[in-house]
Structure 1
């Protein structure tokens, strides 16, 4: 068998004289026709990333899986998903304590403490409409945005901190037409709850370039940053279902950007969530893993990373675990984070699942012409009308 060494000159110069001599004398078997590039990593991707994508066939996806009973498939897919969270389910008593309550126009503003996990007791904000109740509930899931001083405040206007109020108003102006989505919903008769994810608001202290380190440290401690966020969202949904002001049969999850990811994720993981609205977060894995995508920078990606998951299920396949419950997905035609091809392919995959359940009308997907990565008033009004129909 012919054996040869193939080492690029740039690589030798980096190794230095001693290292180059060692490499040059080593016999390296090279597959026929394969020539190593001087640079094997570009744009944070290996040069063979397209080959890796082709190897992903998502064998557990509904329609591809050998499991033909939908309930069995759904149970199996959720179980595999939960295994790859690397975070155990948590049944710690919530021990809810109301620490502040103030009247507003048509609803009550409330701050409460509760045990989101066995390790963390957190503050949450809630708006409860005036009247006898119980009310339909909405779990509000904040975005990432590389803005860590505010979390829950991005969706419910803070009445307790002037500094955060200024930041929150700036955020609402930028993404939500100057509106606080939670306050809009409370005025429409929904009880809403918002909780900070680890790293935001009351749980801040995180900087952009520290996210990757936080994630790797949690991996080293036997857990997962993305899995922790998923489990905490499941806990928040369970808390909302237990509160006496909330009709546990009518609970939705709503989020924008990373919050949109969290909305369909918690719907896939929790039976407490009867409907979900995801704004500006849906694509296929293969259209996400393309040069220039924000995911390739790492950092924020770790909050939405479950190692090994995509060997089994594509992104829309995971969301489809929630089928046939009502789900809404909005995207912007000019969203720089997601290609229209990725959104369209994902919507098509999900549509096939809901259609197989004779629930085509319970899935709403839309790519908004001319809009980018936003949830502006026009989009909100359409989403709220959809919510009133299903919740």
Structure 2
């Protein structure tokens, strides 16, 4: 798969090419396999899965939850640091809870930005979901929080690539998040059939990337995390940079005038998983919302053909790169619908 960037910039959004006739679901299976193969090629080497062997570092009782500071094993001999938020005041409750993987945005404090009193305004979705009765696991990504490389600033990936040149930051984050799902699934007070993911910006696209790789994610919320190559004033944000290099080979493609996939195709790998997407039309980081809207409309057609139109909710509003209270309220209601209400009604 290759798309000329000049064609994308003219507003030509790639079709998911499954048709509307009988047998469309089977046709999508073939198309999906092509997209996944291209995606995996650029994501690079995945570490082998390992036993997480969680280690409790500290337990703190907060007003409406218990916060457990954890560390657990992940691929390439690495460790993930995370906060586990357990509703109520019992660090080992007897009830079964739905769970959320809360993925942080690009902020040096990492997990603390979504799951502690250090959270910035409109970023405390981990805390807020714990208050709504979810077990929440908020991990640090590589280069953030307690995982910043020694002697480096946050989000500097050069040390990672020096050690693992055949992998990518995206591949490592996906692997780490799957290890996080292993941790959540093994908790005796978590219903492993009701796990969702939520994130803003970096955490937003990590959420739907993960949902496309791992069907244990039963619902996903992305705030200001969906963007296309089409219309992007800085498409190399995804390639080789001095700062956080997501997929270095993208830079080679761009220098040749093409891209190997478009991001609604990557989001489509998660279909028909329930997916809530919020985008701000005044987002200065991802300003090309018109292209994103066209791509998400194409994704909506896929959900419709798959008989899952009610599982995709797309909102655009006159906001910047933010996760405003009214949008978070709608996102939480969406998660409740797919992770709580169906079980309660049943």
TM-score normalized with structure 2 length: 0.81
1:135 partnered with 2:101: no
Summarize the Cα distance change of 1:102–1:244 in structure 2 as closer, same or farther, 3 Å threshold. same
Whole-Å separation in 2 of the counterparts to 1:223 and 1:79: 16
Residues 143 and 155 in structure 2, CA contact (< 8 A), matched pair in contact too: no
Whole-Å separation in 2 of the counterparts to 1:284 and 1:344: 9
Deviations along 1:66-124, whole A, 9 cap, x unmatched?
99533344345334423432122522111122232222223211112210224112321
Whole-Å separation in 2 of the counterparts to 1:96 and 1:215: 23
Query: What is residue 182 of structure 1 aligned with on the other side?
Result: 126
- Give SS of 2:331's match: helix
Summarize the Cα distance change of 1:306–1:227 in structure 2 as closer, same or farther, 3 Å threshold. farther
Residues 87 and 231 in structure 1, CA contact (< 8 A), matched pair in contact too: no
Structure in which a larger fraction of residues adopt helix: 1
Query: What is residue 38 of structure 1 aligned with on the other side?
Result: none
TM-score normalized with structure 1 length: 0.73
- Give SS of 2:301's match: helix
Whole-Å separation in 2 of the counterparts to 1:228 and 1:252: 20
Query: What is residue 86 of structure 1 aligned with on the other side?
Result: 44
Deviations along 1:141-182, whole A, 9 cap, x unmatched?
1111xx42x100011006xxxxxxxxx34xx13xx1xx6211
Query: What is residue 122 of structure 1 aligned with on the other side?
Result: 80
**Residue correspondences, number:** 319
1:207 partnered with 2:156: no
1:96 partnered with 2:58: no
- Give SS of 1:352's match: helix
Residues 14 and 262 in structure 2, CA contact (< 8 A), matched pair in contact too: yes
Summarize the Cα distance change of 1:57–1:185 in structure 2 as closer, same or farther, 3 Å threshold. closer
Query: What is residue 357 of structure 1 aligned with on the other side?
Result: 306
Residues 239 and 247 in structure 2, CA contact (< 8 A), matched pair in contact too: no
Query: What is residue 241 of structure 2 aligned with on the other side?
Result: 298
1:330 partnered with 2:298: no
Query: What is residue 267 of structure 2 aligned with on the other side?
Result: 319
**2:196 counterpart (252, 269, 275):** 252
Whole-Å separation in 1 of the counterparts to 2:276 and 2:153: 32
Question: Larger C-alpha radius of gyration, 1 or 2?
Answer: 1
Query: What is residue 343 of structure 2 aligned with on the other side?
Result: none
Question: What pairs up with 1:221-232 in 2 under 5 angstroms?
Answer: 221-232=165-176
1:151 partnered with 2:142: no
Summarize the Cα distance change of 1:155–1:321 in structure 2 as closer, same or farther, 3 Å threshold. same
What runs of 5+ residues in structure 2 fail to find an aligned partner?
Answer: 340-346
- Give SS of 2:315's match: strand
Greater Cα offset, 194-203 or 66-75: 66-75
Whole-Å separation in 2 of the counterparts to 1:267 and 1:85: 15
Greater Cα offset, 112-121 or 292-301: 292-301
- Give SS of 1:235's match: helix
